[in-house]
């Protein structure tokens, strides 16, 4: 297996499309899968031919990896890595420029009392807040991610969704977090979902990395989550993402483990590396470290980098910072010693 | 293996357990020395450190223990079931309260990882006592007629692979049904049984109801041959099981044997592959493969052989072998030098017979008894590694083409303890399970235990069932 996947990091190749073979990643591995997306029936046959997922076994494995004990130096490494992987998110109707600016400042310098704390990976906002967010993180390595495609329901016409993406990209979003059409997926119209992702991929072009949100809580079964993962990766997703954070069940250790298996297998088959982003419901440093253990022991250390793994979260960052302070000073500080944004 | 995410050592504290420098035999509620004063040492297999010195029971001591059990039987068996249940519930609760201490003790004496003693052995031990406590006052409704009678004194001999759990499997149903017991733990792992003796005292169990005699095979032989024992229960090797069967033949003793196995784990091409890989790993590397029902033969459909083996090998490289007290250890130490020698010899024989041997790169500690997880591919039914029970972390991989061939190969063994079936097709699970001659069949999982589920073997894997309602029968005069 290759240790890196340079082609996947080269957006110029992602955007080039060969009408006969689908997205041309310039890799023979993907060409081998090109036939798969030739029609609705070939795509369905492929997705339904993926190995099934045993619910009990998957959840048992996730739980067993959750018992790993990460202490001292390993904990310090994991906390810093987790901080650097946070997509600091605000997706509320009540979002204001002031709120987004505060979030941007927090992402750039999460711990004002300790400059050695790494920056977060990105701020994640609605498209209309992208200009504000860009200004707030200007001059730093922090990325601006924008949700799009009629987030979170995804119930709008293709034209509206693409316009949504267009606006985000034009405003300078570095990353686009799209939602798939769960209705189409559950109705078995896989090619429709595929086409929509590739269309969004095209609008993102060379300027934005694309995260594809499946809303795993609505797909409901693990078999569906595995199929959606492959569908998203075939359509050119840079990241596959669990959920919007707006439904009852969001990221869980089991669904994230399953998606990590998918990106691992996809790279083994095609040479293309795809990132994973669990989002929603990860609130404590302890949980975040458990997810990093899943990454380490499933996809492997190539994914232990914020280019390939992210946490979609809002309250998680403060707990990571408090745990980091505890590790450094030996004392628990408290919520008044981290910023409320 | 250097990794960017190197887990720092996370050892469980040894200070939660206080091991005395020496222990006596537990007879009639008291710890006493052996009549001839003999002792033997028990060591930590991970480090070869001597943990304690334990009395070695001779025939006279076994006789004393059986007489104490006989004396206690009259009152114990006359107690109402509700009263016996109270003692068992009390024991179960004390085990839960002392579970961390017992887990560390078991890990020290046996060499298995703390993750397993903490998450598997101890919860199951407590669950077993809770479960049979529940039966004690409901024996009229167990399907054996009204007021089924106990047998009397049970002589029980247990192995070293799950010392405390095998003790629970033996003692809980025996006491629930009104028998008294003399139990001999394995020579290499006597400590948890002696701690259990202390728990019996803590629970106020009347003297003589439970007696623990430590020693080697001679003490076990004396116990099973003792004329005043009414019931013999043995878990261990098939060779010793046969000896015991000869000893008991022609007497009125009731016998149950839970012996070796060469379990087949059958993976069909429509299996959930990632979970099957986990099940294979759990089937053969749980407790270093020192499990009588281990899935030591992997039968994989030829059409997915390469894909499955790639996944399996990748998974094996993530297994963490080392200090059993480290909470992140997956593979601990082999229980004894003797067992290590046996595993080594059988693995070498597999290689000599032409099977392909593979192990992930892993560094073995310099002291203690260690064996790297090992795979044999290109194995046929004729290879020794496919026929003999290795009782170690060694998996033999065979292939099949059709369900009938899978069944034929799975059944082609003198043993018949366990089997696993991996397929997403429910009808195939039922069809194949009906044809397999094994006492325990798991589908889409492996090595799952529960006190409510009977466990036992076919053919040379023994007879009689432990666990569940069926487990009562072995201790009732029915």
For B119, which of A52, A67, A297 is closest by C-beta distance?
A67
CA dihedral B361, B364, B370, B371 (to 10 degrees): 10
Q: How confident is the model at residue A20 (pLDDT cuts 50, 70, 90)?
A: very low
Question: What is the structure's pLDDT at B464?
Answer: 96
Describe chain B by its helix, strand, coil percentages, rounded to 5: 40, 20, 40
Smallest CA-to-CA distance from B370 within B362, B381, B378, B358 is with B362
Round the average pLDDT of chain A to a whole number and report it: 92
- B427-431: long-range contacts at Cβ-Cβ below 8 A with a sequence spacing of 24 or more? B428/B268, B428/B403, B431/B403
Question: What is the structure's pLDDT at A1?
Answer: 37
- Report yes or no on A230 lying in a domain: yes
Q: What's the rounded mean pLDDT across residues B240-266?
A: 97
Q: How confident is the model at residue A28 (pLDDT cuts 50, 70, 90)?
A: low
Q: How confident is the model at residue A27 (pLDDT cuts 50, 70, 90)?
A: low
> Over 60: is that where the pLDDT of B438 sits?
yes
Q: Hunting for tokens 């990896």 — which residue is that?
A: A65
CATH number at residue A128: 3.20.20.70
Catalytic residue flag (residue A241): yes
- Report yes or no on A321 lying in a domain: yes
Question: What is the structure's pLDDT at B321?
Answer: 98
Q: Which residues pair with B233 in a beta bridge?
A: B156, B256
Tell me the C-alpha distance between A298 and A308, whole Å.
Answer: 13
Question: What is the structure's pLDDT at A54?
Answer: 98
- Report yes or no on A1 lying in a domain: no
Whole-prediction pTM value?
A: 0.94
Residue A271 to residues A106, A232, B118, Cα–Cα distance (Å): 36, 16, 40
Q: Kind of pairing, strands A86-89 and A22-23?
A: unpaired
* Residues A8/A306, Cβ–Cβ less than 8 Å: no
Catalytic residue flag (residue A277): yes
Number of other CB atoms surrounding residue A110 within 10 Å? 23
> Over 80: is that where the pLDDT of A2 sits?
no
* Residues B260/B227, Cβ–Cβ less than 8 Å: no
- Report yes or no on A37 lying in a domain: yes
A181-215 per-position pLDDT tens digit: 999 999 999 999 999 999 999 999 999 999 999 99
Tell me the C-alpha distance between B101 and B105, whole Å.
Answer: 6
Q: Which chain A residue has the Cα nearest residue B326?
A: A69
> Domains of chain B (ranges plus CATH)?
14-259+458-473 (3.40.605.10), 264-443 (3.40.309.10)
Tokens representing B239?
């060779």
Q: How confident is the model at residue B3 (pLDDT cuts 50, 70, 90)?
A: confident
Tokens representing A238?
């840079």
**What are the backbone angles phi and psi of residue A225, rounded to the nearest 5°?**
-65, -40
Is the omega angle on the peptide bond into residue A152 within 30 degrees of 0, that is, cis? yes
Q: Which of A219-233, A326-340, B346-360 has the lowest mean pLDDT?
A: A326-340
A53-99 per-position pLDDT tens digit: 999 999 999 999 999 999 999 999 999 999 999 999 999 999 999 99
* Residues A300/A93, Cβ–Cβ less than 8 Å: no
Number of other CB atoms surrounding residue A285 within 10 Å? 24
Angle (CA) B432-B435-B438 rounded to 5° is 100
Give the percent of chain A with pLDDT over 90. Answer: 87
Question: What is the structure's pLDDT at A5?
Answer: 40
Q: What's the rounded mean pLDDT across residues B31-42?
A: 98
Question: What is the structure's pLDDT at A3?
Answer: 40
Say how many domains are in chain A. Answer: 1
Q: What's the rounded mean pLDDT across residues B455-471?
A: 97
Q: Which chain A residue has the Cα nearest residue B423?
A: A52
Tell me the C-alpha distance between B420 and B252, whole Å.
Answer: 37
Q: Which chain A residue has the Cα nearest residue B272?
A: A52
Give the percent of chain A with pLDDT over 70. Answer: 91
* Residues A244/A152, Cβ–Cβ less than 8 Å: yes
Chain B hits for A81, CB-CB cut-off 8 Å, are 5
- Report yes or no on A339 lying in a domain: no
Tell me the C-alpha distance between B45 and B290, whole Å.
Answer: 14
Round the average pLDDT of chain B to a whole number and report it: 97
For B10, which of A52, A54, A71 is closest by C-beta distance?
A71
Size of interface A-B (CB pairs under 8 A): 73
In angstroms, the separation between the Cα of residue A231 and the nearest Cα of chain B is 19
* Residues B60/B217, Cβ–Cβ less than 8 Å: no
Give this complex's ipTM. Answer: 0.95
Radius of gyration of chain A (CA): 19
B7/A68 touch (CB, cutoff 8 Å), yes or no? yes
Q: Which of A11-15, B166-170, B396-400 has the lowest mean pLDDT?
A: A11-15
Tell me the C-alpha distance between B28 and B208, whole Å.
Answer: 4
Q: What's the rounded mean pLDDT across residues B412-428?
A: 98
- Report yes or no on A54 lying in a domain: yes
- Report yes or no on A341 lying in a domain: no
Q: Does residue B90 or residue A10 have the better pLDDT?
A: B90
A249-283 per-position pLDDT tens digit: 999 999 999 999 999 999 999 999 999 999 999 99
> Over 70: is that where the pLDDT of A293 sits?
yes
Q: How confident is the model at residue A13 (pLDDT cuts 50, 70, 90)?
A: very low
- Report yes or no on A340 lying in a domain: no
Q: How confident is the model at residue A295 (pLDDT cuts 50, 70, 90)?
A: very high
Query: Residue A125: which H helix or E strand, with range?
Result: strand A122-125
B5/A78 touch (CB, cutoff 8 Å), yes or no? yes
For B272, which of A51, A60, A81 is closest by C-beta distance?
A51
Chain B hits for A301, CB-CB cut-off 8 Å, are 3-5
Question: What is the structure's pLDDT at B274?
Answer: 98
User: A175 is in which domain, residue-wise?
Assistant: 6-329
Question: What is the structure's pLDDT at A272?
Answer: 96
Question: What is the structure's pLDDT at A246?
Answer: 96
- B→A interface, C-beta within 8 Å: 3-10, 115, 119, 270-276, 278-279, 318, 327-328, 424, 444-445
**What are the backbone angles phi and psi of residue B113, rounded to the nearest 5°?**
-65, 145
Residues in chain A: 341
Question: What is the structure's pLDDT at A29?
Answer: 66
Q: How confident is the model at residue A7 (pLDDT cuts 50, 70, 90)?
A: very low
């Amino acid at each position: 297996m290759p240790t890196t996947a340079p082609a996947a990091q080269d957006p110029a190749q992602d955007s080039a499309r060969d009408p006969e073979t689908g997205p041309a990643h310039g890799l023979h591995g993907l060409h081998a899968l090109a036939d798969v997306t030739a029609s609705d029936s070939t795509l369905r046959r492929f997705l339904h031919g993926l190995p099934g997922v045993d619910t009990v076994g998957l959840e048992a494995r996730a739980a067993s990896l959750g018992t790993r004990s990460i202490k001292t130096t390993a904990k310090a490494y994991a906390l810093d890595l987790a901080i650097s992987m946070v997509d600091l998110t605000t997706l509320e109707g009540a979002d204001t420029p002031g709120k987004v600016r505060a979030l941007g400042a927090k992402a750039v310098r999460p711990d004002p009392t300790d400059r050695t704390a790494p920056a977060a990976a990105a701020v994640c906002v609605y498209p209309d807040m992208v200009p504000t967010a860009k200004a707030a993180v200007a001059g730093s390595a922090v990325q601006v991610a924008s949700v799009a495609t009629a987030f979170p329901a995804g119930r709008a016409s293709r034209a509206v969704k693409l316009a949504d993406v267009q606006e985000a990209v034009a405003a300078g979003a570095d990353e686009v977090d799209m939602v798939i059409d769960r209705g189409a997926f559950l109705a078995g119209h896989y090619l429709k979902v595929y086409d929509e992702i590739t269309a969004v991929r095209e609008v993102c072009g060379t300027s934005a990395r694309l995260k594809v949100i499946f809303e795993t809580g609505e797909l409901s079964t693990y078999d569906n989550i595995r199929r959606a993962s492959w569908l998203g990766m075939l359509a050119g997703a840079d990241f596959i993402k669990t959920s919007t954070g707006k439904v009852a069940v969001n990221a869980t250790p089991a669904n994230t483990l399953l998606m990590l298996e998918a990106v691992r297998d996809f790279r083994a088959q095609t040479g293309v590396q795809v990132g994973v982003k669990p989002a929603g419901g990860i609130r404590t440093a302890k949980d975040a470290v458990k997810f990093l253990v899943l990454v380490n022991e499933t996809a492997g250390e190539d994914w232990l980098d914020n280019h390939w793994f992210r946490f979609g979260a809002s309250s998680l960052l403060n707990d990571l910072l408090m745990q980091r302070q505890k590790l450094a000073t030996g004392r628990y500080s408290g919520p008044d010693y981290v910023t409320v944004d | 293996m250097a990794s960017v995410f190197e887990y720092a050592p996370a050892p469980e504290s040894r200070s939660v357990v206080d091991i005395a420098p020496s222990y006596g035999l537990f007879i009639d509620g008291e710890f006493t020395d052996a009549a001839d004063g003999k002792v033997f040492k028990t060591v930590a297999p991970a480090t070869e450190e001597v943990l304690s010195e334990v009395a070695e029971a001779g025939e006279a001591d076994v006789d004393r223990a059986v007489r104490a059990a006989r004396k206690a039987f009259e009152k114990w068996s006359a107690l109402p079931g509700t009263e016996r249940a109270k003692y068992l519930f009390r024991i179960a609760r004390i085990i839960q309260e002392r579970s961390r201490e017992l887990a560390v003790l078991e890990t020290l004496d046996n060499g298995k990882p703390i993750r397993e003693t903490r998450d598997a052995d101890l919860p199951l031990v407590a669950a077993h006592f809770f479960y049979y406590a529940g039966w004690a006052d409901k024996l009229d409704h167990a399907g054996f007629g009204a007021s089924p009678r106990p047998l009397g004194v049970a002589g029980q001999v247990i192995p070293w692979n799950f010392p405390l759990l095998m003790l629970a499997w033996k003692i809980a149903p025996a006491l629930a049904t009104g028998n008294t017991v003399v139990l001999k733990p394995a020579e290499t792992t006597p400590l948890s049984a002696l701690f259990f003796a202390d728990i019996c005292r803590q629970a106020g169990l009347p003297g003589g109801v439970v007696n623990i005699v430590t020693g080697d095979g001679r003490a076990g032989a004396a116990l099973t041959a003792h004329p005043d024992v009414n019931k013999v229960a043995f878990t261990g090797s098939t060779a010793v099981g046969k000896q015991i069967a000869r000893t008991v033949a022609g007497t009125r003793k009731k016998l149950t044997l839970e012996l070796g196995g060469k379990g087949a784990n059958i993976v069909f091409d429509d299996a959930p592959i990632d979970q099957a890989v986990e099940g294979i790993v759990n089937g053969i590397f749980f407790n270093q493969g020192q499990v009588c029902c281990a899935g030591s033969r992997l039968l994989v459909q030829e059409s997915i052989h390469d894909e499955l083996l790639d996944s399996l090998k990748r998974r094996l490289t993530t297994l963490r072998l080392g200090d059993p007290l480290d909470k992140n250890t997956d593979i601990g130490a082999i229980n004894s030098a003797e067992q290590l020698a046996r595993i080594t010899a059988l693995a070498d024989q597999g290689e000599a017979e032409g099977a392909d041997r593979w192990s992930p790169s892993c560094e073995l500690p310099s002291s203690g008894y260690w064996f790297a997880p090992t795979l044999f591919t290109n194995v046929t039914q004729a290879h020794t590694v496919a026929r003999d029970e290795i009782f170690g972390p060694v998996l033999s991989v065979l292939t099949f083409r059709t369900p009938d061939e899978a069944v034929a190969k799975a059944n082609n063994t003198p043993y018949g303890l366990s089997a696993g079936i991996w397929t997403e097709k429910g009808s195939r699970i039922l069809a194949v399970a009906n044809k397999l001659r094994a006492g325990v069949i798991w589908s889409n999982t492996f090595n799952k235990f529960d006190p409510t589920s009977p466990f036992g073997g076919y053919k040379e894997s023994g007879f009689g069932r432990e666990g569940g309602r069926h487990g009562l029968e072995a201790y009732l005069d029915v």
